[in-house]
Structure 1
Amino acid sequence: MEKQELFKIGDVAKMFHISVGSLRHYEKFGLLKPEYTDQETGYRYYSTRQFECLNTIRYLRVLDMPLDQIAEFLRNRDVKKIQEMLQQQKKRVVMKQNELQIIEKKIENRLQQLQDTLSSELDTVRIIQTGPRRITWIRNKLRPKSYLDLETSIRQLEKQQENTVVFPGKVGIGITKERLLKKQYETYDIVFLVLDQEDNYNGIVEELPNETSVAIRFCGSHADAPVYYAKLANFILAHKLTITGFSKEITMIDYGITNDITKFVTEIQIPVAAI
């Protein structure tokens, strides 16, 4: 075969708007071997009769078809076969769209949370209303001085999960009602994870009802919390409220987001009711 009937690999790549690396990958995968390879120079050449095959590969790749399925089709081209492949690929695309929608929702949740946190009024006690929340939790006594002290508990919460469900601003610790009433703020009893509605958690999930809470946000992390628990306790006493459940303490901004400790923000919520 005369070389003038052939096209260099670089020229073919330009014609089909793909990379030389892609053509080499197709060759390695057995999809499209060069018509001729110069044994002295190693240059690869393709003929026009291979262009139809390359067009088919490129079309199926645009549809995100896996290379092994493309190879199978090229070995046994058939109308029914391509119909089946396209139907299967359509199902995969729909699944991927659903996954991307979930990812988009998670991103939106985190953006809203960050915006809310950055606009917080710090060191001010507020009475807030929270809607129903899904959480999973474990009892674990600890006295965290940094986020590293929570790692073992976080791994327990994430155990056996197919996808990551632990993100900044979702992991919290709590003090039981009994300990709050005794004003014991140094030791925590619960580690919990707030689940987004789209989270598919493989384990025991508790649905928290609507809650009225006294809350405070402050610059700092868990090690700085006791003084703010005392501030909340004074507010509860002054406004004749009673504690109805365990506290929910979450670092909204910490090392997971920034190394600047002056930008850390932690929130404490204590559920209450009127006496």
Structure 2
Amino acid sequence: MFKIGEFSKVSNITVRTLRHYEKVGLLLPSKVDQQSGYRYYKAEQLGVLNQIKLLQQVGLSLESIKEILRSQDLSVLNYYYELREQEIHLELETLNAKKQLVEELKKQLKEGVSMEKYNVVKKQLAVRNVMSIRKVIPSFSDEGQLWNKLYLEAQKQQVKFSNQPSGISIYHDKEYQEANVDVEVQSEVIGKYKDTEEATFFEAPAVEIASVTFHGSFDQMSLVSQALATWIDANGYKISGPMMNISHVSPAEDPNPDHWINEVAFVVEKN
């Protein structure tokens, strides 16, 4: 058997880490001398230790590793592998979003950014017949699920959509929310249809809006919002209704962010 210091050398694991593994019940010494308190390990424990190191490398927690070692069940191991795979997928999405933001910032630094790029227009959003689904969803990234649901409901009644830019997202929360957001998706329709459990059909009233139409990804949203706020303040208007996004070329139509065209708007009225 090996003393803890010797075992540390042959395993390339610090004594401090070995003591921590013992404390959490992950890897116990083979023997503890009751008089001296010395810890002793066996050579065959290196196999367990190597398995621990491998599972840590894929990002599994010590608690998960402990459960895997305790069960020695392949189905349990597969469950944790699949769970970690899903977590890595989400981490990659987050990293890709950060990468795109860095690329956009570099582009802005190179080209220079002017508020004149974001032209604010005041106009009336006319009365229109719409199909609507409104729900509280976990996050803004889940908005696509509402659109999918809307189009599935439309197929049931063979709903005919207008040729006008038909996709309007309305954000009803009175303040910014990071989670559990109140979102409505609307599409302008031609004709009359019956409400379903998921969707309603109604005449949306005319509203005055201040809007900015921009090309590209939503990484520009902070600048778009700044341009809108500056215009609203400078021209004696106030926000009197929800924020909207009118989609002219959406991610569903073209996966390339460079080709997206969106119009962000606030419902406004004179002070």
Q: TM-score, normalised by structure 1?
A: 0.45
Structure with the higher strand share, 1 or 2: 2
Q: TM-score, normalised by structure 2?
A: 0.46
